[in-house]
Structure 1
Amino acid sequence: MIGFIGGSGIYEALPLENTREEEVTTPFGEPSAPVTIGEIAGKEVAFLPRHGPKHQRTPTEAPYRANIYALKELGVERILASNAVGSLREELPPQTLVIPDQIFDQTKHRTPTFFGSGMVVHMPFADPYCPHMVEHLSESSDEATDANHHRGGTYVCIEGPQYSTRAESDFYRQQGFEIIGMTAIPEAKLAREAEMCYATVAGVTDYDVWKEDSEVTLEEVLENAAENEDAIKQVVEHAILNLPEERDCDCGHALEGTINTPTKAIPAEKREEVELLAGQYLD
């Protein structure tokens, strides 16, 4: 099964057939919505709107752990996501699609791991997006849409829900970052801990506030997010239809060698909580 997490502007699933809804309860709370499961040309897809079906949750409040856990429990191995982002580059105007390959974490108030509480896990995260999925999404962007698109670049993830100050926006540009948003973290980190492939297609909605006479507004963001929706869905649908049956990457055994706490020292309650994620490494 393939997972799709929809960001701002994408609250409805792809054109799925034979749909059903699954209510999933997790040790980390309720996911943002019931999971919609359906098929595209015989391929099973599980869809979640990150912020809830009516955009009720801020980027900080989104139940990232519950969302990733719920998809894992349903059998998802690979996740495609979408994000609404601001551009930090003149050459990436609104209504451009970006397939980032790096993340810079500027969040402050989010739980970035399933572990802790008596279980220490040090997860390598040098390449935060699955390289094979980045490549596949990039190829799908070339083939599925006429929309302007760009492969690679760094997504700087801020806490929000406020937009950047001009000083912050200028600083991120000086670092050479390409896009700015509020939802890449901890989603990408949790997907890696759950040994799931993960990549995103980000739709540019604005120029943040670095550009002269640019003052990002909710109206602008929503208008451009709506314009990006069809192109993002086209790319994701094409990616799903052409995704290789087998994974050819290291994501499926990412936890191997990362658990620093001896199994006998892990509290029973914690072990039960993460059995789905790490049980094979704790036997």
Structure 2
Amino acid sequence: MSASPPAGSPDPADDSAALPAPAVPGAPRGLAGLDRRIAGCRACPRLVGWREEVARTKRAAFADWTYWGRPVPGFGPVDARMLIVGLAPAAHGGNRTGRMFTGDRSGDVLYQALYEVGLASQPTSVGVGDGLELHGVRVTAPVHCAPPANRPTPAERDTCRPWLVQELRSLRPTLRAVLVLGGFGWQAALPAFAEAGWAVPRPRPAFAHGARVTLEGHDGLELLGCFHVSQRNTFTGRLTPLMLRDVLRTAASAAGLPHLPEERRADGT
């Protein structure tokens, strides 16, 4: 099965799209323009080499796919009231499909939970064009390229930060809550919130599952923490489906989004 590039994605031969993250302030206004610029970024040589090598060699199970092999922009409505911040795209997930948390087991867990609490139109996310819609929620990451061993370097994280800052600024009129998955995302996001105009407490709040901090500025922003939906956490029970649904409901309430109560089950009962 081949995957089509997301709508509006840059032509690989268009050098004007391949601009580094520091060029974000000059990007076209709006999230659509920002997403296009992100998808053409080549600022980190190690990440560029890795994502493109993975796209060439592929995984045997996806040998008939045309991998995206570029930075993966955020996904969700431009007027989202709630933002979910992960870590980075998976090599054979978002790096293959071109959409955040799509095509890998972490995404399977996240979108199932979003569906069960009424924030997604369907419980699965397998590829661009599968019909998935998010209700008032956008999903992004502080690092937009798949990193080797799922570990971006501090320098790569910092180089990618201007993209997250610009995304936050674009969402600022409607954004009311942010759910951060994992300690890496938490530490990467805090300075981005400050650069985007919210006041981050000092000392900086520590990450914890269930942590909740109010950031002052721009009508306020509720920042919540959740263990990452990684296989290590979900397979060992460190993060259970119930825990994830509970924190999603808390974040949705903080954002003023309608959501379904715990009585909603995966089978609809």
Q: TM-score, normalised by structure 1?
A: 0.33
Greater share of residues in helix = 2
Greater share of residues in strand = 1
Q: TM-score, normalised by structure 2?
A: 0.34
Q: Looking at CA atoms only, which structure, 1 or 2, has the larger radius of gyration? A: 1
